[in-house]
A and B are shown apart, each in its own frame.
Chain A
């Protein structure tokens, strides 16, 4: 892998961590959060996972897993556009990989800002696609809201993923 410069060795279980957490995060966004004033729009957890692992361990998050996570999300959330999330997540991964140097070994705020950019891109793409397919410009409000709430929840997601990341060496033993 051209982008893996880490010399640490991870066992089979540890190598599964990025993929597994990405799938789990995709499922997380489907759970019915009844938190007051949370609204019916859930944060895009899958986006967080794909972003996080694309920055830190892209070698352990194969494209096929990103594709499957997106497909699973689409099949379970009842969208008429199965494949849209897969497309968005694949593009986010590609975009993040190309900008990876900007994020590595930088303070969290830079990472957060980068994630905001990725979220704007992802949800703008979704908005454009759905508008195109519905032959009618969708009201952008829910998309803007989802971008904001996803960005606001990123530190939580990022913290959980970092925990999983730190547990990886222990899992290899």
Chain B
């Protein structure tokens, strides 16, 4: 009897895992709940375990920085000069802007609040681009909120626990973000494909896009506010690719921002997921 059980364990477990992997797509909600609880429980462990890694990478960073202090200093002096000029321009524009606002009685967008979050886990897989951060519902984070670094957009919250949130990076194959090309106001979608540079897909190309064009969110769909910096076009041969401003491979801290938007449907408000093999994206896209 014991021998039979032992002989059947392997085929049984292989069958169960294959079944789960195939069905998982059909019943995401159950897994979502399990994994949120698990992530919440293990968050302190991951955070503590991550500390030495942060220390080591900081040390490496310090050594690298020390080596380039002189050159950087020269560069900074130049950059500082340039920025002083820009500051001058900004001051002038600010006062001009204020005058014009007074003129048209323009009301600026609603209050914005943000929470800083530490990255505690990285999916690290070949076909996944997401991160786990150490803030959640208890800090007022809700699903769909954008995550930013000082450089630009990182992604948005797709899963929410009490103390953790999972952020789908804009490079993930399930990420679709409505964007515009700055200057031409050409609307497009920025679709991740798990590579470091997501693809820009146009609806109706009128003005050709060229390397160096800046991409910002369009605000369509109500998930992201308009004009968040996303990235810069780097190649246009056949596939248009965008290099995100944020360094997605080395995220340590992100800011999750509440713009008071509610473009993402709450849990349970979604229709049943499509049958297996039917849909290509697991999560609701930002359309």
Contact of B17 among A28, A75, A83 (CB under 8 A): A83
Say whether B248 contacts A40, CB under 8 Å. yes
Say whether B24 contacts A82, CB under 8 Å. yes
Say whether B282 contacts A80, CB under 8 Å. yes
Number of A-B contacts (CB under 8 A): 169
Residues of B contacting A28 in the complex (Cβ-Cβ under 8 angstroms): 49
Is A107 an interface residue when CB atoms closer than 8 A count as contact? no
Range of interface residues on chain B?
A: 35 or more
Which of B32-40, B70-78, B89-97, B106-114 sits within the interface?
Answer: B32-40
Is B99 an interface residue when CB atoms closer than 8 A count as contact? no
Which of B8-16, B145-153, B264-272 sits within the interface?
Answer: B8-16
Encode A86-99 as 1/0 by CB contact (under 8 A) with B.
11001100100000
Is A112 an interface residue when CB atoms closer than 8 A count as contact? no
Give, as a whole number of angstroms, the nearest-CB distance from B166 to chain A: 5
Nearest residue in B to A43 (C-beta to C-beta)? B124
Report Cα–Cα, A39/B122, bound state, in Å: 11
Is B54 an interface residue when CB atoms closer than 8 A count as contact? yes
Say whether A31 contacts B122, CB under 8 Å. yes
Residues of B contacting A129 in the complex (Cβ-Cβ under 8 angstroms): 21
> Taking A41-B126, A78-B35 as contacts, is the C-beta distance between A30 and B121 under 8 angstroms?
yes
Nearest residue in A to B173 (C-beta to C-beta)? A134
Say whether A32 contacts B53, CB under 8 Å. yes
Is A143 an interface residue when CB atoms closer than 8 A count as contact? yes
A114-165: which residues lie under 8 A (CB-CB) from chain B?
A: 123, 126-127, 129-130, 133-136, 138-139, 141-143, 145-146
Is A76 an interface residue when CB atoms closer than 8 A count as contact? yes
Residue with the greatest number of chain A CB neighbours at <10 A, chosen from B19, B53, B122, B280? B122
Nearest residue in A to B282 (C-beta to C-beta)? A80
> Taking A34-B250, A145-B126 as contacts, is the C-beta distance between A91 and B34 under 8 angstroms?
no
Is A108 an interface residue when CB atoms closer than 8 A count as contact? no
Range of interface residues on chain A?
A: 35 or more
Is A29 an interface residue when CB atoms closer than 8 A count as contact? yes
Report Cα–Cα, A6/B162, bound state, in Å: 47
Give, as a whole number of angstroms, the nearest-CB distance from A151 to chain B: 14
B109-152: which residues lie under 8 A (CB-CB) from chain A?
A: 119-132
> Taking A32-B50, A82-B31 as contacts, is the C-beta distance between A143 and B126 under 8 angstroms?
yes
Report Cα–Cα, A113/B149, bound state, in Å: 41
Chain A binding surface, main DSSP class = helix
10 new A-B contacts at CB < 8 Å, known A31-B49, A40-B123: A29-B124, A30-B132, A32-B53, A32-B251, A35-B57, A64-B13, A71-B20, A77-B128, A80-B174, A86-B20
B36-66: which residues lie under 8 A (CB-CB) from chain A?
A: 38-39, 42, 45-46, 49-50, 53-54, 56-57, 60-61, 64
Is B18 an interface residue when CB atoms closer than 8 A count as contact? yes
Nearest residue in A to B12 (C-beta to C-beta)? A63
Say whether B120 contacts A32, CB under 8 Å. yes
Report Cα–Cα, A36/B250, bound state, in Å: 8
Is A79 an interface residue when CB atoms closer than 8 A count as contact? yes
> Taking A41-B124, A135-B280 as contacts, is the C-beta distance between A82 and B21 under 8 angstroms?
yes
8 contacts between A and B (CB under 8 A): A32-B120, A32-B251, A36-B60, A36-B250, A70-B17, A81-B24, A83-B18, A87-B17
Contact of B252 among A27, A32, A75, A139 (CB under 8 A): A32
Residues of B contacting A135 in the complex (Cβ-Cβ under 8 angstroms): 277, 280
Give, as a whole number of angstroms, the nearest-CB distance from B18 to chain A: 5
Report Cα–Cα, A129/B125, bound state, in Å: 14
Say whether B124 contacts A40, CB under 8 Å. yes
Is A10 an interface residue when CB atoms closer than 8 A count as contact? no
> Taking A33-B57, A63-B10 as contacts, is the C-beta distance between A78 and B21 under 8 angstroms?
no
Say whether B21 contacts A83, CB under 8 Å. yes
Report Cα–Cα, A29/B126, bound state, in Å: 12
Report Cα–Cα, A129/B49, bound state, in Å: 31
> Taking A33-B53, A40-B248 as contacts, is the C-beta distance between A82 and B20 under 8 angstroms?
yes
A28-68: which residues lie under 8 A (CB-CB) from chain B?
A: 28-36, 38-42, 63-64, 66-67
